[in-house]
Chain A
Amino acid sequence: MNLLVLYLLLLKASLTSFSGLGSLPMVRNDFVVERQLLTDHQLNMAVVAGRTGPGPYGLYLVCVAYLVGGVPGALMGFLALITPAFLVIPLMRWIGARADIPRVRSAIRGLLLASAGLLLSSSVPLTLDAFTGVFSALLMAASFAVLTFTRIDSAWLMLGAAGAGLAASLFH
């Protein structure tokens, strides 16, 4: 895939999301559904790789770009990941003075809610791909509960899940 196209596709996904994993629906649509450059399993692996190390959750974009275009692709993914961040500089001047206007606040709210619905839609096939039986379902539920109801670092969660997967494999 042309590196410029790769950058632009990832930039589009990054520009239309407002959280690390918020770009996932757009990425899945462009790379899995429309262009079939990745499978759901590969996308899942990219998300895992992005969440395993330190740094922001959006790093999975770099892993997606690496899978599609190798190291030069990863560089494009990195640029697409950081480019939108610099919009905050003009925003500090512009929205800083208007953030309390109800209509601006409502538009942002509408955007966030639509993003949540899209993330929900993308999570269904990725969850089905990760589902391999009762054990994986228990791990999913435990992961959800730990992140929602406790303040345990997600790195510990990933480590625990890897250990549980290993233990289950040895047990069987």
Chain B
Amino acid sequence: MKKLTEIFFRIGNTTFGGGYVTIGMLGRELVDTRRWITAEKFDLAFALARVTPGTNLIAFCAAIGALICGTAGAIGAVVALTAPSSALAVLIMQGFQSWQENRIAMAAIGGTVAAVAGMMWATIWVILRPHVGGLTWKGMTRNLQVALIAGGAFVSARIFGITPLPIILLGTLIGFLWKDERP
């Protein structure tokens, strides 16, 4: 348990680049090097973390911690991964606030704000890309579903000002009724 927490602390708080990079590093350590978990269990944790609400990486750590050391392992893994980096994020936020009057610091922050806007559009593309089909009949049906649900959600929120929760619930219901025909 102590070693497990130490691994999540070390990898989670020194790896930049978001969830997929951290998951890759954890796989190398826990599956390849230490063999604490099989590749099949690792894949199951990864798949289920993607359908768990919230941040996928944190759910993934909870799943791996639970598979190795039970509920205590899940709590240890999640806290070791997120507590130090959360504290660091707050410190960075405090720094941003106290630099409001500093022209040089604000110029650097302005650059990163623009980069983050680009990152948001990249995130949208990452979410949509696996659901976009080709030019076959089945592919076009999938594209229609993407356009209707994602486009409908955009218009409902942006043009009509509908709050997110009913839009998400309606999107889930449409998905449930409009069955995926993939094999």
Contact = CB atoms under 8 A, between A and B. Distances in A.
Interface of A: 12, 14-26, 29, 44-60, 62-63, 66-67, 71, 74, 77-78, 81-89, 91-92, 95-96, 99, 102-103, 105-124, 126-127, 129-132, 135-137, 139-148, 153-155, 157-158, 160-166, 168-170
B16 A155 contact: yes
B102 to A, nearest CB: 11
27 contacts: A17-B53, A19-B127, A44-B117, A45-B93, A50-B89, A54-B13, A55-B86, A55-B89, A62-B86, A84-B52, A85-B54, A89-B74, A99-B47, A99-B48, A102-B180, A105-B182, A107-B176, A116-B124, A117-B149, A118-B153, A118-B157, A140-B114, A143-B115, A154-B17, A165-B107, A166-B111, A168-B111
For the complex of A and B, the 5 pairs showing the least CB-CB separation, nearest first, are A110-B175, A165-B111, A114-B171, A143-B118, A117-B153
Contact of B78 (A85, A120, A153): A85
A130 B145 contact: no
A102 B172 CA distance: 13
B63 A66 contact: no
Contacts of A113: 127-128, 131, 145-146, 149-150, 153, 171, 175
Nearest to A157: B115
Contact of B154 (A102, A120, A155, A162): A120
A123 B90 CA distance: 23
Given A82-B54, A107-B172, 13 more contacts: A14-B54, A53-B16, A56-B18, A57-B55, A74-B90, A89-B71, A96-B44, A103-B179, A113-B175, A114-B170, A132-B114, A143-B117, A146-B118
B116 A147 contact: no
B115 A139 contact: yes
Query: Which interface class (under 10, 10 to 19, 20 to 34, 35 or more) fits B?
Result: 35 or more
B163 A78 contact: no
B14 A54 contact: yes
Given A20-B18, A21-B120, A85 B62 contact: yes
Contact of A88 (B62, B94, B164): B62
Contacts of A106: 175-176, 178-180
B44 A92 contact: yes
Contacts of B167: 114, 117-118
A15 B53 contact: yes
Given A49-B89, A148-B125, A91 B51 contact: yes
B53 A132 contact: no
Contacts of A105: 180, 182
Contacts of B116: 44, 47-48, 51, 130, 143
Given A110-B176, A118-B154, A126 B117 contact: yes
Most A-side CB within 10 Å, residue of B19, B63, B168, B181:
B168
B61 A85 contact: yes
B47 to A, nearest CB: 7
Contacts of A157: 115, 119
Interface in B55-92: 55-63, 66-67, 71, 74-75, 78-79, 81-86, 88-90, 92
